[in-house]
Amino acid sequence: MPKNFQIIPASERVLSLRKKTMSSERYISIGQAKIITRVYKENGDLPVILKRAYSLAAALNEMPLAIDPEELIAGNRTPDIRAGVVFPEAGLAWLEKEIETLPSRPQDPFGIRKEDVILLKDSIAPFWRGKTLEDNIYNAYGNELSSIEKVVKINQKDHAQGHICPDVEVWLRLGPSGLLEIAREKVKIAEGEKRSFYEAVSITLKASCNFINRYSELAVLMAKEEQDPVLRKNLYEISVTCKRLSEGPAANFREALQSVWFLFVILQMESNASSFSPGRMDQYLLQYYKDTDPDTALELIDALFVKFNQIVYMRNAHSARYFAGFPIGFNVTLGGVDSEGNDATNELSYLFLKAQDHIRLPQPNLTARLHKGSPPEFLDECSRVIGLGTGMPQVVNDESIIPSLREAGISQEDAINYALVGCVELSTSGNYLGWSDSAMFNLVKALELAINDGVCMITGNRIGPATGKLENFSAYEDLEESFRRQIDFFTDKMLSACNVVEEFHRRHLPSPFLSSVMNNCLNTGTDITAGGAKYNYSGIQAIQGANIADSLAVLKKLVFQEPIIDKSELMEALRNNFEKKEPLRQFCINRCPKYGNDVEWVDELGAKWIKYFASGLKKARNYRGGPFHMGLYTVSAHVPMGQNVGATPDGRLARTPLADGGMSPMYGRDKNGPTAVLNSVARVPSHLASNGTLLNMKFLPSLFRNETDRSKFTSLLKTFITLPIHHIQFNVVTSEDLRSAKADPDSWKGLTIRVAGYTAYFTELAGDLQDEIILRTTQGENE
């Protein structure tokens, strides 16, 4: 632990940067879209990978730059802070429709400049029509996608994949100039596609050096004009730092942080995607930290934390409602074990936690890796910061995750070096394209079809195979058979659809710059989208175990075993959304145990189907030749997913949200306290979820009010390490406060909440999502 780091205050400078960042007005920016469009027009017949490389290079060479004289870490993809960057190759359809309403939409609005709208409508959009990733996927496969969409939502159709932990270590060690040398050597002997690949990589790396150097030049110019001696000195330092980084690797802590930031800026300029994650920063930065004193280091980290909030990801109106506050997934992972299996926590781990205490913004997404040898001080510091109520750090469990990754086919060396990307997705460092969130599979909808002969209860349309009705099943096993058939039917369709989407990514969005920092792309001359990474997974989310367990428990116990509830009466009630059947609904809720209460037979009902689902994913390989595997995290999709599902036997009403998270019990139905929740969650086969899991828990702030009480929370973390559970994140807030915040958003602007793998401002979330968060059980609230 660094000495006295607890009492280092946030400097005025970083607080001022923080303020400016969060209060700056957001505009939509089409500067880069113009450049990309021009390059594509000029180079119509080049291979896509070269068009992409030249576009990125042109943006790096031409985009206007800005430096705030106060900032310690410079760089952004636009001169405006938090601009909504338009990125045409992936898809423009939504923007064409929504551009005029961007400034007035309720969630995450963006200002627009009139001339930009005209330019977009008249010259940019028409060129791209029919050429984007999205348009091509829909033309080729649209009907198939919409035929399964109620059960399976295929993702990544209109933006680049992201969700990657690049090899930051190699970037720091070699710098863009060092990587460029390698690529240039390779070009000489490569042929065909590989030659284009290496050329493309070289083009983007050369432009990256130039981009960084442009900051150096700008800083000098500004320094000459600057009157304030402190700011002038800072500008000179920026200039020197950038100059050195444009020519070689990072040599000290400031250069290293600056270099990391440039990497992520450029990755965003190439892909404009959610979730490029820096990974284990406390590990790879340690060698640069050595001679830095903690105060200086912490201020630099604070400054970088502010920077993480300056790039936002503009979403369409619908998804902005559920991903309010621009979760962009700069996930920083701390602690964990080293290659020998020893504790890897170091001084930087504590400084990063302290930076969270200082800055308290939605980004970065902070994750603490815990394991049996985590030092007590680290656990306690994690608890303390969690108690601040910012929802961070989330905690993950090495003891559960490393074996799970091994089981999924990852080497021991790589598994030990895992980090989180985006929200909660697991990844190795620098060699893994996990294609997270490839698709979401709504098991609850599949169960609805399984008891209703494949017919959607909301629309009355047939969408699945006719596998029988509950009324006609004579035993619980008949129901299981029907469920199995629905799952199989949609799994097959889903896997084919995922591969179609991936193929189009390869055709439209090869990413040479990203490939340059991903093992083994550079060695093998293969782009990341073509399978150049050492590991090529595709993550599919199973949604939602809690509702499956709860619904099957009611069916098994109350309908088949006892039987207290009549099949036709239940089906009738479900089809009519329990209208005039409130007693029956209450009976389903209260008279049958629920997942999350440590009732083994109920938990096992859910676990069985999670296992079944995971095994179905083994039926195919993905487009890049790797395996499909399961994730148990919904982010905030449990709300829109719930809108597709009719009333369920667990007493949930039609169209209301499903359970949150992925591993969490249905909100308000876990009544036996946090230990019971953890015991239930431990029965879910997390080891099969090598793509990641998500458990939300909400605690009262009073649990953190003194050291004795906090130590009881810490002991929960200690037990967590002994359980087969990958992940937990915590909200520390009272339901009362949340209710007040919903009613009076103006007074609660600063209230951040952990939604699902990311933190957002509570008052900016969609109303139905707010309600669901309020209803989540608060541990300690009911006596």
Partner 1 sequence: MSKISGTVFKIKRFSIHDGPGVRTSVFLKGCPLNCVWCHSPEGIGSDISIWYNKNVCIACGKCVDVCPQGALMLTGEPEKYISIDRRLCTTTGDCVEVCPTSAIQFTGWVTTPSEVICEIEKDIPYFKTSGGGITLTGGEPLYQPDFAFEILSMCRERGIHTAIESSLFCPEEVIRQISDKVDLFIADLKIFDPFVHRQHTGESNLLIKKNLTFLVSSGKKIIVRIPMVKNITDTEENINSILGYAGSLSKNIPVEFIEYNPLAGNNYRRLGIPFPLDNLNKES
By CB under 8 A, name the binding residues for partner 1.
582-587, 590-591, 598, 672-676, 679, 703, 709, 711-712, 715-716, 718-719, 722-723, 779-780, 783
Tokens matching residue 586: 């209450």
> Cis peptide leading into 364, omega within 30 of 0?
yes
Closest contact distance (angstroms) between CB of 574 and partner 1 is 16
Q: Please, what is the minimum distance in Å from the beta carbon of residue 719 to partner 1?
A: 5
Of the pair 687, 718, the CB lying nearest partner 1 is at 718
Q: Are 92 and 125 in contact (CB under 8 A)?
A: yes
Nearer to partner 1, 586 or 643 (CB): 586
CA distance 414 to 405: 9
Is the CB of 703 or the CB of 774 nearer to partner 1?
703
Q: Which is nearer to partner 1, 321 or 585 (CB)?
A: 585
- What does each C-alpha distance from 701 to 83, 664, 704, 735 come to in angstroms? 35, 20, 6, 11
> At closest approach, how far in Å is the CB of 666 from partner 1?
17
State the nearest-atom distance from the C-beta of 368 to partner 1, in Å: 17
Measured CA to CA, the distance from residue 684 to residue 672 in angstroms comes to 18
The CB-of-683 to partner 1 minimum distance in angstroms stands at 12
| Bond from prior residue into 536 cis (ω within 30 degrees of 0) | no
CB of 582 to partner 1, least distance (A): 6
Q: Which is nearer to partner 1, 297 or 592 (by Cβ)?
A: 592
Structure tokens at 479: 């129901």
Q: Among candidates 162, 187, 26, which has minimal Cα distance to 107?
A: 26
Nearer to partner 1, 214 or 585 (CB): 585
Least distance (Å) between residue 545 CB and partner 1: 20
Show the DSSP H helices in 149-280 as ranges.
Answer: 168-189, 192-225, 229-247, 253-271
Residue 273 DSSP class: -
Q: Which is nearer to partner 1, 709 or 771 (CB)?
A: 709
Distance CA 292, CA 362 (A): 27
Closest CA to 271 of 527, 539, 623, 22: 527
Residues 302, 254 contacting (CB under 8 angstroms): no
| Cβ nearer to partner 1, comparing 333 with 779 | 779
d(CA 737, CA 740) in angstroms, rounded, equals 5
CB of 113 to partner 1, least distance (A): 55
Task: Record the tokens describing residue 127, joined without a space.
Answer: 């060129």
Task: Report the C-alpha dihedral over residues 736, 738, 740, 742, rounded to 10 degrees.
Answer: -150
Name the residue nearer to partner 1 (CB basis): 489 or 595: 595
Q: Cβ–Cβ contacts within 10 Å for residue 719, how many?
A: 15
- The smaller minimum CB distance to partner 1, of residues 111 and 673, is found at 673
Which C-beta is closer to partner 1: that of 402 or that of 677? Answer: 677
Closest separation in Å from C-beta 665 to partner 1: 14
**Nearer to partner 1 among residue 264 and residue 699 (C-beta):** 699
CB of 657 to partner 1, least distance (A): 21
Amino acid at 322: Y
Instruction: Give dist(CA 195, CA 199) in Å, integer.
Output: 6
- Cis ω on the peptide bond leading into residue 544 (within 30° of 0)? yes
304 CB-near residues (< 8 Å, 6+ apart): 73, 257, 260, 261
Q: Give the three-class secondary structure for 164.
A: strand
Among 419, 81, 435, 78, CA closest to 277 = 419
| Shortest Cβ 134–partner 1 spacing (Å) | 48
Q: Strand 432-433 vs strand 84-85: parallel, antiparallel, or unpaired?
A: unpaired
470 within 8 A of 451, measured Cβ to Cβ: yes
**Cβ 723 to partner 1, closest distance in Å?**
7
Stated as kind and residue range, the H or E segment containing 728 is strand 727-732
Closest approach of partner 1 to the CB of residue 676, in Å: 6
Eight-state DSSP code of residue 87? -
Q: Give SS3 for 149.
A: coil
Q: Is 772 exposed, middle or buried (0-12, 13-18, 19+ CB in 10 A)?
A: buried
Q: How far is the CB of 278 from partner 1 (least distance, A)?
A: 31
In this structure, what DSSP letter does residue 416 have? H
In 103-191, alpha helices (H): 114-119, 125-128, 133-148, 168-189
CB of 338 to partner 1, least distance (A): 24
Count CB neighbours of 122 within 10 A. 9
Query: From the CB of 663, what's the least distance to partner 1, in Å?
Result: 18
> How does DSSP classify residue 558?
I
Residue 44 or 583 having the CB closest to partner 1? 583
**Judged by CB, which is closer to partner 1: 233, or 372?**
372
Complex with partner 1: residue 103 or 376, whichever CB lies closer: 376
Residue 591 or 621 having the CB closest to partner 1? 591
Q: Tell me, what DSSP letter sits at residue 662?
A: T
With 0-12 / 13-18 / 19 or more C-beta atoms within 10 angstroms meaning exposed / middle / buried, residue 274 is buried
Q: Which is nearer to partner 1, 576 or 719 (CB)?
A: 719
From residue 356, how far is each of 168, 222, 388, 395, 695 by CA, in Å? Answer: 21, 31, 10, 14, 21
Q: How far is the CB of 674 from partner 1 (least distance, A)?
A: 5
User: Of 633 and 699, which CB lies nearer to partner 1 in the complex structure?
Assistant: 699
Residue 355: closest CA among 67, 74, 14, 23: 14
Separation of alpha carbons 575 and 457, rounded Å: 6
Least spacing, CB of residue 782 vs partner 1, in Å: 10
Asked whether the beta carbons of 393 and 353 are under 8 A apart, the reply is yes
